[in-house]
Amino acid sequence: MTTDNPFFAPSELPYQLPPFDRIEVDHYLPAFERGMEEQRAEVAAIVADPAPPTFDNTLVALERSGRILQRVSATFFTLTSSDTSDRLQEIEAEVVPRLSAHSDAIMLDAGLYARIKDLHDRRDELGLEPEPAWLLQRYHTEFVRAGAELSAEQHERLRAINAELAGLATEFGNLVRDEMKARAVVVDDAAALDGLSADALAATEVAGRDRGLDGKYVLNLVLPTGQPPLAALHDRALRERLHTASVGRGAGGEHDTTGLVLRIVRLRAQRARLLGYEHHAAYNISDNTARSVAAVEEMLAKLVPPAMANAAAEAEDLQALIGDEFTLQPWDWAYYTEHLRRERYAIDENELRPYFELERVLSDGVFFAAGKLYGLRFSERPDLPAYHPDARVFEVFDHDGSPLGLYIGDFFTRASKRGGAWANAVVPQSRLYGTAPVVCNNLNVNRAPAGEPTLLTLDEVRTLFHEFGHALHTLFSSVQFPKFAGTRVPRDFVEYPSQVNEVWMLWPEVLENYARHHVTGDRLPQEVVDRLQAAEQFNKGFTTTEYLAATLLDLAWHTLSVEQAEAVTDAMAFEAEALERAGVATPFVPPRYRTPYFAHIFSGAAYSAGYYSYIWSEVLDADTVDWLTERGGLRRDSGDAFRDGLLAKGGSADSMDVYRAFRGRDPLIEPLLKRRGLLGSTVS
């Protein structure tokens, strides 16, 4: 096991793709242990170097350290997200706190920080080029933020907090995944599923068989509050069952997460105070492009009143459609919204789906747009191993035919995959390492029965374009240091390039190429395309409000002081009060994520006090889409400008400086307000 462990040496496969066909579950723990041991030794050697600190003997050496640990971590956490198992979860529960302690041991190493501080103090005399200078700045900032300047006693408390938080986050994520599976709605009679398309109905039958429930039908849950079948099911009682199952996740029973939430919030508040911040939000946002909680709150304050007003008007329209038969409830919203959409725009989601066959959307839509804008070409590589039979490997070639990287697409839902959709770098690009990027996209699309095509909803098409935007950010990375590769940018900047990529979904040239009926091959009729464009702002009050509610809920949890966090004893009561206080409490529009299954902010810290990032990034996105539109859309010169001026930079410079250099000015908020139907009443 020690000599043949695949992680102990770089992979010999193209692009250093992990040899998934050779990796066994028992390889992970020994690789983690050796990886941590090796990096500790490498850091110790840096600290013990008798030579005065230089950029090379300190920061470059630090960037070169921990290669085994990087390889095993990237592969392991790809698997725990995409294809987990009981054994992988056991290893995860053991190794995550150890990784947290390992990171703390480095970030709180007094000797290492002394060398970094020495370089930082002399930064003006070092004559560094821009990327190395930024590396020095980032390391100094990150060490200070990690607590390097605290006392030894404070270090011990910080280590304990970080270790406990790491374990709690893993436990939260596992409970959310298990609860999604447990809360799936089982239906005995197919007649209750009237309204679902034929392929969606078949998918519920497949889901039933997958659970050993032959003859029954299963509506699997997705991570957000809103469940897609709610838009189609005629049976109101079943809609209520499905909605209730969704919003009730994690608030009691075997997979209750609310106790974990209270503990996580208290620990984060304690850590923030230890590090000199008022609360966790102040700590997190200070290192994002927003810089302050006040700046985020100022932007959100412009959006909440008009969004709520639009949602209220939409609710009135839906109630008018229902009439006096009953009062509109949350489980009715999507269903009657679809009725209203058909009435106003003659758009029916179920009639659209035959035009959105997964394979065609991928190759003739997503890949086609990347080819037109950036000159990319994609070639599937079935000879290269993936971690699951559903995951497909594509080689990506640049505009000049040179190899660029690998793209892994894993699109189908399964019990071993967490909910939602995401992108992750399996191998980061780095000139220091001589590595090209390997990036993976995950979605949770219901698989069609064997031999039948998988048809996507409009929202699933959008999600595929969105996640591929993250993949492009990773593939186009052109940096020296792995710390800056691809999407390793501030949290409130990372969604910007992916949201820009969504514009091509309905771009006429792209839509015409992929939106073809899977049986007849006919193009989506132009009159339908026109109606889709006309309906762009339809239901925006709801979608904006559900997002803002989740964002403000995130901020409510993370702007608590230590004392305030300790005083909260009922998570669901706090949620209700927070939404009321923020002005987004409405019976019709629950938050996109409720507290007990808000994995973005509690299953790890990436989006904690950072869920606002999507709307913050959308300001940049909408401004950039205006620029692309003004320049004529899918033009290679525009693609090259966006790629070279922004995507290729990764995190190798201040993100807003990169944006200003690319766009020639600061971003404007008006394009976002116009897009969401909020222009006219929000800008003072």
In the chain, domain spans: 6-149, 183-247, 258-347+539-611, 353-489
Cα distance between residue 471 and residue 152, in whole Å: 41
Cα distance between residue 509 and residue 205, in whole Å: 36
Q: How far is CA 163 from the centre of its chain?
A: 24
Are 175 and 419 in contact, with CB atoms under 8 Å apart?
A: no
315's CB contacts (< 8 A; 6+ apart) are 328, 333, 586, 588
Fold for domain 6-149? Glutathione S-transferase Yfyf (Class Pi); Chain A, domain 2 (1.20.1050)
Q: Where are the alpha helices (DSSP H) in 183-257?
A: 198-210, 236-247
Verify whether residue 467 is a known catalytic residue: yes
DSSP one-letter code for 515:
-
DSSP sequence for 112-164? HHHHHHHHHHTHHHH---HHHHHHHHHHHHHHHHTTTTS-HHHHHHHHHHHHH
Asked which of 76-90, 192-206, 476-490 is least confident by mean pLDDT, the reply is 192-206
Among candidate residues 383, 368, 314, 204, the one with its CA nearest the CA of residue 588: 314
Tokens of 323: 């009439």
Q: Where are the alpha helices (DSSP H) in 593-669?
A: 599-602, 613-630, 636-645, 655-663
- Rounded to an integer, the average pLDDT of 592-597 is 98
Tokens of 573: 């009561």
Which pLDDT score, from 0 to 100, does residue 606 have?
83
Q: What's the number of CA atoms in the CB half-sphere (13 Å) around residue 565? A: 27
- Rounded to an integer, the average pLDDT of 494-507 is 96
Are 318 and 563 in contact, with CB atoms under 8 Å apart?
A: no
Cα distance between residue 114 and residue 118, in whole Å: 6
Cα distance between residue 278 and residue 159, in whole Å: 20
Whether CATH 1.10.1370.10 fits 258-347+539-611: yes
Q: Do 258-347+539-611 and 6-149 fall under one CATH topology?
A: no
Tokens of 632: 């004529």
- CB atoms near residue 132 (< 10 Å): 18
- Rounded to an integer, the average pLDDT of 555-579 is 98
- The pLDDT-based confidence of 680 (bands split at 50, 70, 90) is low
- Identity at 127, one-letter amino acid code: G
Describe the chain by its helix, strand, coil percentages, rounded to 5: 60, 5, 35
Tokens of 349: 């989601």
Q: Is the pLDDT of residue 445 over 50?
A: yes
Q: How far is CA 345 from the centre of its chain?
A: 31
Element (H, E) at 647: none
- Rounded to an integer, the average pLDDT of 378-403 is 98
What values do phi and psi take at 86, rounded to 5?
Answer: -60, -45
Cα distance between residue 555 and residue 553, in whole Å: 5
Whether CATH 3.40.390.10 fits 353-489: yes
Cα distance between residue 380 and residue 302, in whole Å: 46
3-state class of 365 per DSSP?
helix
- Radius of gyration over every alpha carbon of the chain, rounded to an integer in angstroms: 25
- Rounded to an integer, the average pLDDT of 52-81 is 98
Which pLDDT score, from 0 to 100, does residue 682 have?
39
Cα distance between residue 461 and residue 366, in whole Å: 9
Cα distance between residue 619 and residue 343, in whole Å: 32
CA dihedral 306, 308, 309, 311 (to 10 degrees): 120
Q: Is the pLDDT of residue 570 over 70?
A: yes
Which pLDDT score, from 0 to 100, does residue 3 have?
64
DSSP one-letter code for 364:
I
Are 595 and 553 in contact, with CB atoms under 8 Å apart?
A: yes
Cα distance between residue 412 and residue 643, in whole Å: 29
- The pLDDT-based confidence of 53 (bands split at 50, 70, 90) is very high
Cα distance between residue 628 and residue 614, in whole Å: 20
Bridge partners for 442 per DSSP: 410, 422
- Catalytic residue (choose from 92, 467, 546, 618): 467
Q: Tell me which of 3 and 184 has the higher pLDDT.
A: 184
Taking only the tens place, the pLDDT of each residue in 198-231 is 888 998 999 999 899 999 999 999 999 999 999 9
What values do phi and psi take at 605, rounded to 5?
Answer: -110, 5
DSSP sequence for 46-102? HHH--SPP-IIIIIIHHHHS-HHHHHHHHHHHHHHHHS--HHHHHHHHHHHHHHHHH
Cα distance between residue 22 and residue 24, in whole Å: 6
Q: Is the pLDDT of residue 449 over 90?
A: no
What values do phi and psi take at 278, rounded to 5?
Answer: -65, -40
Which pLDDT score, from 0 to 100, does residue 157 have?
97
Which pLDDT score, from 0 to 100, does residue 684 have?
28
Q: Is the pLDDT of residue 400 over 50?
A: yes
Taking only the tens place, the pLDDT of each residue in 651-673 is 999 999 999 999 999 999 999 98
